[in-house]
Chains A and B, each alone.
Chain A
């Protein structure tokens, strides 16, 4: 059932500083609201429990894409469309562009943001596996200061993260060191566009050294980088068996644990043979 709309607050801070100050003044009261592609769906379903939001959609500081010699830094408001239209991202991070292209239709890609996809903390989100494979770092910003941490540490459990009540996930940094590798991204769902994944798989492989990086979505309480499987593959042992031991898929409305496991192993084989 729809929520009672007058019961929700949405404010529009004029600057990033103002947004952070409001979050600091009343920790936990205000949460950031970006493109709304997840939050508005919850609202419509009557499941948006939090009531007070700060619209950060028009803060230009959070929308920049900055290219440095060894990294690319993306503002949290970078949309899927921004990723798809950015030449450097398409060239050096094709798996991120593939993930962006597989997220919703164009209308969703124009409004959905990378920061939202991360902070929303769904284990089924499309871009987190790609970001894990990129060895991304995230900046958690508050009026107290900024801290950068490896994205792989960010998700602590089902829908829980290291974000503190006064912090905003402001930027994402990608080291520019996977451009020449073979990139693979594949999402398996009921329909190509507009479907939440049953399993999604991101990987890069260095064809000369055999080194791989692998991450999956919808197979555990968090988007998961599969370190153990990577090590087993590096040693030339049975990757799909290691993957079965490492992931923990469940039965839910979208699929079953058994199907997810089988698809995850098939995707790994396809990736290794690609």
Chain B
């Protein structure tokens, strides 16, 4: 009897196999290689933005508190003159150069201060 080979006897079966979980591992390896650390998921981008905003808020609050203590510490004891512009300027002049630079850095772009100054003029 002529026994002819028929591809249907084998179909797409192959004598090869792979370790368990291999394809998931392959995908993870590739993603780890092609996605640099700064290319993160949208979720982690949102998380990063939220953390940055929180840090900025905390720093701004800390700076405001520091300003309050620094200015009041350097004001003269005469309360009748405490809220005059001259005394604020005097208090500012009494600060060290470092403290003055710090205040300028923190508040020079503060839109609320700038807005108030513009309204005063």
A, B in one complex: no
Instruction: Give A residues with C-beta under 8 Å from B.
Output: none
